[in-house]
Each structure stands twice: as structure tokens, then as C-alpha cells.
Amino acid sequence: MTQLLQAFRQTCLYSFTTTQIFKDYSFIFLLYYNLMIERNNKMKGSLKKRMIQVIVVLTTLFISSMVLAGFMNYQIINRSEKYWITDLDHCPKVKVALILGAKVFKDGSLSTILLDRMDAGIALYKSGKVEKLLLSGDHGRVHYDEVSAMKNYAVQRGVDPQDIFLDHAGFRTYDSLYRAKEVFNIKALIVVTQKFHLDRAIYTGRHLGLETYGVPADKRIYSKHRLNQLREFLARSIAFLELHVFTHKPRYLGSIHDIAGDGRQTHN
């Protein structure tokens, strides 16, 4: 069938080109044909040029963004590393350890990341390096409560309930540190989290006016640790912009609970 159609088209074309009309005005048909070819070539060249321009612009934006993000990450890391505490014998005199929340399972058990943070914070408390534990995490839903699970774990390991303060609205690192200062009247603290997260936490606290130190809680290689590193690269960039450009208050503040008081008032 296809061969028949091609033969028919060729026959029609031959018939037309042998007509007197075509012979008399052949130069017009040829001129029109050449103009169409030239126009088509110009359109193809213009489209190709535009595609190249778009690729160049997108590549430039991507490289510029990566350079800017690298600069912001460098600033945070460079200004925070000196406040890491790796030897508890040289721990500064600070009364409060802030333990940042992480995933809790449906049965109330702690994820490995949170488990290690709790153990590191409890070790500070039991060694007398701090007097109070501020447990900050997500309790924004009825059936999800990080801070109560953290509190239960600490009490089971001998921490006095009155020395445990709960921040139920610690949805983000920024929120936890902002509320530590404004809601719990803390002036200085040791923040407890993993190494990949520690620089951002220290930088945020110090930028908010808290005398902030950090204790790394790493006790193992965590699953998705490479993904955590990538996320943290982006999170540091966002934190830098949040602190220096898009400043704001946390979603929730609430009533004051002075850290010098009884932590049991915050347990409900």
C-alpha cells in the first residue's frame, strides 16, 4: 500500500511538472521552493540558538547557586567548630543540655539517632556537667509525641523528672534554640546532636544570642548517612538565609517556663 501511494505521488508530481503552466512559471515555483527551504533552515537555527542560550543560563544559575551554598556552608562550619566539646573534662560551666528531637516509632521507642542523643545528654547530666535537660521535639500531632518518649527514656535511666524540661514545639532546629532563649530563659547551653547537624545548631544558637556549645552524639554509622550529609548541606544554606535575610519568629512561643524552676510543669 505504501509503495502504491509513493508511486501515485511521484506520478502526480511528474504530471504537474510536465504541464504548460509549470513550464511557463517554473522560475516562480523554484523561487518559492528555495524561499521555503531557507525559512525552514533559519527557524531550525534560531531554535537551536535559543536552546543553547537556555542551557547556558541554567548552567550558570546552577553553578552560581552551588558556589553561594558552598560559601554559606563554609561560614557556618568555620565559625562553629571551635565550640565543639569532644573532651568532657574540659566542658564549660553550663547548666543546661538541649537535646534535639528526632524520629520516634509508634510504640514509643526511639530511633537510633535519637537514642544516641539521649545517651549523650544523660551522660552530661550524670557526670554533673549540666543540671537540667531541655528535651525539644515535635509534638504537633495528637498521636505523635517525641518529647514524652524522650522524657520517659531519661526517667527510666535515673534522671530526676523535675530536672527535665519539655519543649513540645521544637519542630525545627531554629525553633528549638529560639524557644530555649525566649521561653525557657536560657542564656547558655550545650546542644546535643550528631556531627553532621552540630555546626548548624551551634551557629544558630550563637546567632540568636545564646552562649552555645555542642557535644557530638555519634556512636555508630547511621543508615542514610550520605543522604543526611546532602540534606544538611542544603539545610545549612537555608539556615544561613533564615538567620541573615529572612528573619522571623517560630510558629509558637507560648508561656514562659523558667529553666530555674520545676521541669514537671512542662510535662503535660
pLDDT in tens, 175-184: 999 999 999 9
Domain containing 30: what range? 1-83
User: Does residue 40 share a domain with residue 120?
Assistant: no
Amino acid at 176: S
Both 222 and 118 in one domain: the answer is yes
Q: What is the pLDDT of residues 42-86, one digit of tens each?
A: 666 677 677 877 788 888 888 888 899 999 999 999 999 999 999
Question: In terms of domains, do 257 and 132 share one?
Answer: yes
Please indicate, yes or no, whether residues 137 and 255 belong to a single structural domain of this protein.
yes
Same domain, 60 and 95: no
Residue 261, CA distances (Å) to 131, 180, 185, 247, 257 in order: 12, 14, 11, 30, 7
Q: What is the mean pLDDT of residues 135-142?
A: 92
Domain finish residue from 48, 83, 118: 83
Q: With contact defined as beta carbons under 8 Å apart, do 243 and 204 qualify?
A: yes
pLDDT at 8: 41
For 181, counting Cβ atoms within 10 Å of its Cβ (0-12 exposed, 13-18 middle, 19+ buried), the class is middle
Domain containing residue 219: CATH number: 3.40.50.620
Residue 26 pLDDT grade (very low, low, confident, very high; cuts 50, 70, 90): low
Strands 132-136 and 211-216: unpaired
Same structural domain, 21 and 100: no
Looking at 83, 98, 119, the residue that finishes a domain is: 83
Contact 199, 89 (CB under 8 A): no
Indicate whether 9 pLDDT > 50: no
pLDDT recorded at residue 251: 83
Q: Would you tell me how many other CB atoms lie within 10 Å of the CB of residue 166? A: 25
Amino acid (1-letter code) at residue 20: Q
Which residues are CB-contacts of 93 (< 8 A; sequence separation ≥ 6)?
Answer: none
* Same domain for 50 and 145: no
Do 112 and 191 have their domain in common?
yes
Distance CA 91, CA 74 (A): 25
Does residue 95 sit in the same domain as residue 74?
no
Contact between residue 134 and residue 150 where contact means Cβ atoms under 8 Å apart: no
How confident is the model at residue 54, as a pLDDT?
Answer: 79
Question: How many domains, in total, are found in the chain?
Answer: 2
What value does the mean pLDDT take over residues 16-43? Answer: 57
27 and 60 in a common domain = yes
- Which pLDDT tens digit goes with each residue over 248-263? 888 888 889 999 999 9
Q: Which three cell numbers stand for residue 229?
A: 550529609
- 193 vs 93: which has the higher pLDDT: 193
pLDDT tens-digit readout, 81-123: 999 999 988 889 899 999 999 999 999 999 999 999 999 999 9
Of the residues 20, 54, 83, the one at which a domain ends = 83
Residues 213 and 234 in one domain: yes
Sign of CA dihedral 67, 69, 75, 78: negative
Contact 137, 170 (CB under 8 A): yes
3-class DSSP state for residue 25? coil
Mark whether 125 and 247 lie in a shared domain.
Answer: yes
153 touches 108 (CB < 8 A)? no
In the chain, what percentage of residues exceed pLDDT 70? 82
Q: Write down the pLDDT at residue 4.
A: 45
Residue 17's pLDDT is 46
- Across the chain, what does the average pLDDT equal? 87
